Amino acid sequence: MINGGTSFDSARRNHVLYETPTLAGFTVQAAVAEDNFWDVALRYAGEFGGFRLAFGIGYFEDTDFATASQKNTEIKGSASVLHVASGLFVTGAGGQREVEFAGGVGDFDANFWYVAAGVRKNFFGFGDTVLFGEYSKHNDFVQSVNLALTSDVTHWGVGVNQYIDAAAMEVFLTYKNYSADLSAGGQEIRDFDAVIGGARVNF
């Protein structure tokens, strides 16, 4: 039981995944899983003119729900560009979700977008340092008759990651702010802040 498909947050299920050999930096992936799930993705990674570029786009369809006529489709993509000499980079991502029910009752669309920019450079000689800022918006992902008819969640943050190559370790510290607006529910949603720090070892 593993992540069933090429989408970055798809469900865990039994599936078959095929990935093509890389050709001119491009790779195609396709997956078919039990219970009416399938997806496909296109990825690219390459370097030219002093820039490194990577992007991916994918689509999936899932009808594995308690209500057989329910259908969930999503398209998502992301892209990153790094200027090798300066270490300056920018990353963007976005996606659209459509959920359909029998008779159209309860149908909804949701979407998000995200952008981050910063610098990645080996300032101290023992590993790259990454300084970044980020911003995102998520629209209508909160769907509940008792809570909200529409929702708008905004996030921004700043952070630093320090890589320690000799230990295959990454140390990180970030600050994030979240705010939300709901069209129903009768209660104010307060902004909240989060400070997240930790270390990760790759092995």
d(CA 147, CA 163) in angstroms, rounded, equals: 42
- Residue 67 pLDDT more than 60? no
d(CA 18, CA 47) in angstroms, rounded, equals: 25
d(CA 129, CA 144) in angstroms, rounded, equals: 42
- Residue 109 pLDDT more than 90? no
- Residue 8 pLDDT more than 60? no
Region 72-84: what's the mean pLDDT? 94
Residue 32's beta-bridge partner residues? 16, 38
User: Are the beta carbons of 166 and 124 closer than 8 angstroms?
Assistant: no
166 confidence band (pLDDT: 50, 70, 90): very high
* Beta strand residue intervals within 67-150, DSSP E: 71-83, 88-100, 108-121, 129-139
Q: What is the pLDDT of residue 151?
A: 76
Region 143-170: what's the mean pLDDT? 83
Q: Residue 86, exposed/middle/buried by CB under 10 A (0-12, 13-18, 19+)?
A: exposed
The chain-wide mean pLDDT, for the chain, equals 85
- Residue 22 pLDDT more than 80? yes
Region 59-63: what's the mean pLDDT? 86
Region 162-191: what's the mean pLDDT? 86
